[in-house]
Amino acid sequence: MSERTIRIGLAGLGTVGGGVAKLLDRHRDLLAQRCGARLEVGAVFARDRAKRRDLPLAGVRWHESPEALASDPQVDVVVELIGGSDGVARTLVEAALRVGKPVVTANKALIAHHGTALARLAEASKTTLSFEASVAGGIPTIKALREGLAGNRIGAVHGILNGTCNYILTEMQEGVRAGKPREFADVLAESQRLGYAEADPTMDIDGHDAAHKLAILTSVAFGCAVDLKSVHVEGIRHISAVDIEYAMTLGYRIKLLCVSRSAAGGILQRVHPAMVSERSPIAHVDGVFNAVVTQGDFVGPSVFEGRGAGEGPTASAVVADLVDLARGLRVPCFGVPVDRLTTLPPVPMAHHVGAYYIRLMVVDRPGVIADVAACLRDEQVSVESMLQRSRNPGEAVPVVLTTHDASEASLTRALATIARLGTVLEPPRMIRIESL
Ligand SMILES: NC(=O)c1ccc[n+]([C@@H]2O[C@H](COP(=O)([O-])OP(=O)(O)OC[C@H]3O[C@@H](n4cnc5c(N)ncnc54)[C@H](OP(=O)(O)O)[C@@H]3O)[C@@H](O)[C@H]2O)c1
C-alpha cells in the first residue's frame, strides 16, 4: 500500500527552520512509521535565496512571497519559522489559515499578540494552528497542559521561560560561589560573545520574551483569551552580584520567574526576578535550561524541565506538532474553542501579597535602622530578618532586610518613604521572595 505524503511549506530557514529540515530528513522513516504518512518539505520561503545553507533541501521549490507559499496547491501544511509579531510572519499565517491550510509555528510574539484572533481564523476555516515550540522550546508544555492535564483545574503555573536570563543569573551565581563576583553587564557581554544572548538582548533581559510565553501558557492553563498587555514585566538588568550573594546567604537563588495564578476571581500574570528557596526544584534549573511547574487540583504539582531553545529542541517541538497533524489529532489550540475562552479580569500587581528582600545603602550611624523600621511599620510591613555588615561609623554600609508577607502596594509606599530619608544613599533595591 502506498503511503500518504504530507507536503510541508517551510518558511524561515534559520536556526529553527534549518533544524526542522534536518530532523525531517534524518528521521524520515521513523516519522513515516509513527504517522503512517511521509513528512516532506515541498516548498520553502526565506529572505535571501543566494545564502549558502547546507540543508537537505535539494530540488525543493523556492517561493518569493508569503502569499505564494500559502497558496501553493502542492503545500498541505505551512510551517512558519520566520519570527516577529507582525509583518511577513503574520501575513503568511493569516493567508494559510484563510485558505484552510494548517499552520505550525514557533513564533511566541505572533501568538502572544494575535493568538486569539488567529485561533478564531483557524476555526472559521476548519483548520488548525499549532504552536508547541513557542513556549519553552523542546519541553512539551502546551501539550502537557492542554491534553495530559485536561482533567484538572489548574490553580497556578510558574517557571523559568528565558534561557538567556537563566544563563546570566547562573553565571553570576557561579562567580559568587567561586569568590570572583561578576556584575550583570560583564556576564551579558560574555553571553553575547558566546552566542547565548542576541546582539540586541532587550527582549530577553527586560523580560518581554518570557512575558510572551507566559501569556500563551496562561491561556492554555486557564482557558482564557491571550492577554499579553496584562502581564506585569520586569527584567534582570538591576540584579547585582551583591544581591546574588545575599540571596545565597539567606538560602535563596535568584531566578527570572514567570507566574500565573488565579486570584480573587481574576488572574495575576507576572514576570520578574524572584528569590526562590534553594530547596525548590526550580532553584536547580541552571544555565540555558527552562522549567515549568503546573499545579492541578487532582494531580498536584508537575515539574517539566529541559532545553528551552536551540536548533534541536525547538525543531523537536515543531515536528511533534506535524506528527499530531499527520495522525489526525485535532484539539482546540488553547484547549477550548475560541468562543468558550473566558476573559478573566487581570489582577493588578499592587494586589500581590508576598515576602520581600530589601537592600539599602545607608550611613552607618545610630537611629538609621529605627527610621527605616518606622517607615515599614507605618505601612504594616513587618520585618522578618536584618543583615548589616558594619564598617566604620559614619561610612556607607549595606543593610538587607527581609519581610513577612505584605501587600505590594504597602511595600511600594514604604520604599518611597525610605528613599526620601537623608541617611539612605541609593534608591532601595527590592526583590520579591517567592514561596513555591
Ligand atoms: N532560535 C530558537 O532557539 C527559538 C526557540 C523557540 C522559538 N523560536 C522562534 O522561532 C522563530 C525563528 O527563530 P530562528 O531563531 O530560527 O530565527 P533566525 O535564525 O533568525 O531565522 C529566521 C529565518 O526567517 C527568514 N526571514 C527573516 N525575515 C524574513 C523576511 N522578511 N522574509 C522572508 N524570510 C525572512 C530568514 O531568512 P534568511 O535565512 O534568508 O535570512 C531566516 O531563514 C522565531 O519566531 C523565534 O521566536 C526560536
Q: Look up the CATH number of the domain holding residue 369.
A: 3.30.70.260
CATH number of the domain within which 25 lies: 3.40.50.720
Q: What distance in angstroms lies between residue 315's CA and the mean position of ligand 1's atoms? A: 12
Instruction: Spell out the per-residue pLDDT of the chain, length 436, in tens.
Output: 458 999 999 999 999 999 999 999 999 999 999 999 999 999 999 999 999 999 999 999 999 999 999 999 999 999 999 999 999 999 999 999 999 999 999 999 999 999 999 999 999 999 999 999 999 999 999 999 999 999 999 999 999 999 999 999 999 999 999 999 999 999 999 999 988 888 899 999 999 999 999 999 999 999 999 999 999 999 999 999 999 999 999 999 999 999 999 988 899 999 999 999 999 999 999 999 999 999 999 999 999 999 999 999 999 999 999 999 999 999 999 999 999 999 989 999 999 999 999 999 999 888 999 999 999 999 999 999 999 876 777 788 999 999 999 999 999 999 999 999 999 999 999 999 999 8
Q: Both 22 and 62 in a single domain? A: yes
Q: How far, CA to CA in Å, does 315 sit from each of 15, 19, 44, 104, 172? A: 9, 5, 16, 11, 30
Instruction: Indicate yes or no: pTM above 0.95.
Output: yes
Q: Both 60 and 169 in a single domain? A: no
* Residue 365 belongs to some domain of the structure: yes
Residue 3 is predicted with a pLDDT of 81
Q: Both 223 and 343 in a single domain? A: yes
Q: Both 179 and 114 in a single domain? A: no
Q: Both 86 and 154 in a single domain? A: no
Q: Both 165 and 279 in a single domain? A: yes
Which residue's CA is the nearest one to ligand 1's atom 47? Answer: 107
Q: Which residues are catalytic?
A: 213
Q: Both 156 and 260 in a single domain? A: yes
Query: Of 130, 157, 172, which residue sits at a domain end?
Result: 130
State the DSSP H helix or E strand holding residue 273, giving kind and residue range, or none if neither: strand 266-277
Q: Both 193 and 118 in a single domain? A: no
DSSP state of 231: -
Give the position, in ligand 1's atom list, of the atom nearest the Cα of 110.
45
**CA pair distance 217, 214, nearest whole angstrom:** 5
Residue 2 is predicted with a pLDDT of 58
Q: Both 369 and 400 in a single domain? A: yes
**CA pair distance 348, 268, nearest whole angstrom:** 7
Best residue among 20, 79, 82 to mutate for probing ligand 1's pocket (most ligand atoms within 8 Å of CB) is 82
Which residue's CA is the nearest one to ligand 1's atom 29? Answer: 47
Q: What distance in angstroms lies between residue 14's CA and the mean position of ligand 1's atoms? A: 5
**Measuring from each residue's beta carbon to the nearest atom of ligand 1, which residues come in under 6 Å?**
12-17, 46-48, 51, 81-83, 88, 106-108, 133, 137, 309-310, 314
Residue 19 is predicted with a pLDDT of 97
Q: What is residue 34's three-state secondary structure?
A: helix
* Residue 315 belongs to some domain of the structure: no
Q: Which of 148, 120, 144, 149 is nearest to 332 (CA)?
A: 120
Q: Both 153 and 283 in a single domain? A: yes
Residue 422 is predicted with a pLDDT of 94
Instruction: Report how many domains make up the chain.
Output: 3
Q: Both 295 and 177 in a single domain? A: yes
Q: Both 219 and 159 in a single domain? A: yes
* Residue 320 belongs to some domain of the structure: no
Where are the extended beta strands (E) located within 15-86?
37-45, 61-62, 77-80
Task: Tell me which residue range forms the domain holding 367.
Answer: 352-434
